Structure 1
Amino acid sequence: MVAVKSPLSDQAQKTAGNALQGSLIDLIDLALLAKQAHWNLTGRNFKVVHEHLDEVVDLARQYQDEVAERAVALGVNPDGRSRTVADRTPIPQLEAGYLADDKVVALVTDVLAQLIGRFRERVAATDEPDPVTQDLLIQVTAALEKQHWMFQAQV
């Protein structure tokens, strides 16, 4: 088995790897939450919110792949297994069954705000040890902030 050697020092690799792993878990669970809400949504604003949730899913799936590939490039194995995500996600879970559009908008707005806070912490943590990882995390944060603004405008 061939391992990827990190271009970073051990400490920088650890810091960047932790930031990327936390980001991966957040993005995988965000995609799952948004798709679950998408399938079970009801209400007067169904179509708009239904389609908007797919934008969030697309964003999360795009960036989870970029985050995982960045980790591998640094010699860190990303762990996106369902058990890992379930055990480590801080994202609150949706109720089972049909979901009212206004409740979904409020929940997604809150979840995005939580993710933005965690991503901003990761941006700060990777400033010195790995500006390349930091740049990726800044891109993700900007995309999350745009979605937060759009959901918040619907509250």
Structure 2
Amino acid sequence: MTQTLKHTSHPAFQGSKQLASHLQQMLVDLTDLHLQGKQLHWNVVGKNFRDTHLVLDEVVDAARGFADDIAERMRAVYAIPDGRAATVVAQSSLPDVTAYEIDTADTVDAIVASLYAVAGTARRIHDDVDAEDPTSADMLHAILERIEQLAWLIDSENRVANSGSPRQVRP
């Protein structure tokens, strides 16, 4: 006869409901960014197609990797990640992207808007996350560093030197 033992752990840290909620929002937005990146990757057309097509794979790879990191961090602090399609649809803070062919310049604008939405989520939740769990906040730093870098790189495709908004800051 097999005896079933009740397992008990004594973690040094267990996340709060607020931490779980913040990390869940980050997970949802990163998951949506990955899906949007592939949608645009499959349907982009026009000048600089190849470069745009390839850079979208960089966005997808970053979003996938960061989403997995966040989900695994959630499990490490005893939170339950939810990456189901219905949850992503219901909770994403990213703007929608087209289901049809899209010109490269419009693709640039669309993915940059989504990258900045993800960065906005990371910045919005950062202080609360940092107050409770600096380790999770460090993950947000890495996400911000890469996502904002990708936004800058991709957005530069449509920029005109010394014009546009926001204005460039000179020291």
Structures share fold, TM-score greater than 0.5: yes
Shift of 1:17: 1.1
Q: Quick one: structure 1 residues 107 and 122, their matched pair in 2 at CA, closer, same or farther if it must change by over 3 Å?
A: same
Instruction: Look up the equivalent residue of 1:53 and give its one-letter code.
Output: L
1:4-153 to structure 2, matched below 5 A, reads 7-8=12-13, 12-153=15-156
Q: Unaligned stretches of 5+ in structure 2? A: 1-5, 159-171
- The letter for the 1-side match of 2:105 is D
By percentage of residues, which structure has more helix?
1
Work out which structure has the larger RCO, using CA pairs closer than 8 Å and 6 or more positions apart in sequence. 1
Structure 1-normalised TM-score? 0.92
CA 1:3–1:147: 2 relative to 1, 3 Å: farther
- Partner SS, residue 127 of structure 1: helix
Count of residues paired in the alignment: 153
- Kindly indicate whether the alpha-carbon contact (under 8 Å) linking 1:44 and 1:101 is maintained by their aligned counterparts in 2: yes
Counterpart residue identity of residue 20, structure 1: L
- 1:3 positional shift: 8.3
User: Following TM superposition, by how much is the alpha carbon of 1:7 offset from its aligned partner in structure 2, in angstroms?
Assistant: 3.5
What's the CA shift for 1:108? 1.1
CA offset at residue 5 of structure 1?
Answer: 6.3
Larger Rg: 2
- Following superposition, the deviation at residue 14 of structure 1 comes to 2.0
Contact 1:42 1:99 in 2 (8 A): yes
Q: Give 1:109 shift.
A: 1.3
**Structure 2 length normalisation: TM-score?**
0.83
CA contact (8 A) 2:23 2:74 kept: yes
Q: CA deviation at 1:4?
A: 7.0
Give the conservation status (yes or no) of the 8 Å contact 1:37–1:99.
yes
What amino acid does structure 1 have at the position aligned with 2:103?
A
